[in-house]
Amino acid sequence: MLEYDGLVVNWRSKVENDHVRPTTVVHHLLADETTDNWQRGLDGVTQYPANKWDAYIRVMPHSEHPSGSACICTAVMKWSAYALRVGYDEQFPLTYNHPMNSNRFERRLPTVAFNSMYSSHKEVADKCGRTRIDGGMHFEASVVAGGKSISL
């Protein structure tokens, strides 16, 4: 219910805002300019025309603003903090293990296991939302707005 209710509110904002996604902006504003881009499968950067650029994972065919993913990230972490009876931005160390070869999109990554360390539920939510910017699916303002669209 948490995700559903959050996305209902978020979706109304998407309909009212109807902003384009980063892919559209890059394709139209940079067109045939050559850009440096991360190349899936090459584990590195390569150059090619901006109008060929694509986000790291599928971009949904609806308005960009606000980020539904950031809304879910924040809602889940706020609920978790509430359920554990700790403050959302209270120091509460969390660790997530990333086993070797566990990346869903790049099967051979990471090449060694590692842990992600977070100091609070808010930090997890912020970094979760940030993945949408890093992956090319959202602009920063949309992630910030998505995180603000939920309150508990």
| 45-89 residue pLDDT tens | 888 888 888 887 888 888 889 999 999 999 999 999 999 999 999
Q: Contact, 64 vs 10, CB < 8 A?
A: no
Report pTM.
0.83
* Predicted local distance difference test score (pLDDT) of residue 85: 96
SS3 51: helix
Q: Give the tokens for residue 77.
A: 């972490």
* Predicted local distance difference test score (pLDDT) of residue 62: 87
* Predicted local distance difference test score (pLDDT) of residue 76: 93
Distance CA 100, CA 115 (A): 11
Specify the pairing of strand 114-118 against strand 94-98: antiparallel
* Predicted local distance difference test score (pLDDT) of residue 41: 67
Burial of 111 (0-12, 13-18, 19+ CB in 10 A): exposed
State the sign of the Cα–Cα–Cα–Cα dihedral 26, 68, 152, 131: negative
* Predicted local distance difference test score (pLDDT) of residue 152: 66
Those residues whose C-beta lies under 8 Å from the C-beta of residue 64, and which sit 6 or more positions away, are 19, 20, 21, 22, 138, 139, 142
In the 8-state DSSP scheme, what is residue 63?
-
Distance CA 132, CA 107 (A): 20
* Predicted local distance difference test score (pLDDT) of residue 2: 79
Please state, rounded to an integer, the average pLDDT across all residues of the chain: 88
pLDDT digits (tens, 9 = 90+) for 92-148: 999 999 999 998 877 788 889 999 999 999 999 999 999 999 888 999 999 999 998
